[in-house]
């Protein structure tokens, strides 16, 4: 499902490299995290179909590693649920950008942990609905 090469905008690549200096995590791991955050928190999708002027190309195998099939399934499900009929490059780029926006405050690897811990706490604090009698 994913193209062999993913085209990211230069701005996105620069943000990934900046976060790499803060967290010491590689851009591909940061991009995977950004996609996960965007998929987790996105209620309504906005896909930017404008093609970037300056691009940075990253190999699909580098970006997704051995989790490529899992990400392909998640993105396909996302597109189906959101009724998105856009180029997969645009969808991936938009998901990474949306996730990076959520990661903008990160200054250390510990902050990465907090991205996921706060969501788990929020989910557990919500009242559970009672089944119908």
* 79 inside domain: yes
The token duo for 19 is 């976060």
Phi, psi for residue 50 in degrees, rounded to 5: -75, 130
Q: Work out how many domains the chain is built from and give that number.
A: 1
* 116 inside domain: no
Q: Are 17 and 98 in contact (CB under 8 A)?
A: no
**Residue 51 pLDDT:** 81
* 99 inside domain: yes
Helix locations, 24-126, DSSP H: 27-41, 60-64, 68-82, 88-102, 109-125
CATH, residue 35:
1.10.1220.160
pLDDT tens, the chain, 133 aa long: 788 999 999 999 999 999 999 999 999 999 999 999 999 877 766 787 778 788 899 999 999 999 999 999 999 999 998 888 888 999 999 999 999 998 988 888 888 887 777 555 555 555 555 555 4
3 state SS of 14: helix
* 44 inside domain: yes
Measured over the CA atoms of residue 51, residue 90, residue 59 and residue 13, the dihedral's sign is positive
Provide the domain limits for residue 84.
5-110
**Residue 33 pLDDT:** 92
* 126 inside domain: no
């Amino acid at each position: 499902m994913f193209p062999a090469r993913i085209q990211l905008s230069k701005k996105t690549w620069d943000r990934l490299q900046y976060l790499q200096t803060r967290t010491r995590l590689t851009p591909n791991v940061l991009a995977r995290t950004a996609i996960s955050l965007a998929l987790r928190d996105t209620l309504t999708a906005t896909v930017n179909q404008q093609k970037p002027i300056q691009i940075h190309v990253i190999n699909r195998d580098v970006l997704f590693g051995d989790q490529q099939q899992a990400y392909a399934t998640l993105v396909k499900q996302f597109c189906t649920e959101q009724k998105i009929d856009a180029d997969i490059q645009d969808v991936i780029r938009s998901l990474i950008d949306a996730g990076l926006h959520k990661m903008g405050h990160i200054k250390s690897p510990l902050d990465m942990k907090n991205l996921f811990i706060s969501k788990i706490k929020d989910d557990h604090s919500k009242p559970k609905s009672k089944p119908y009698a």
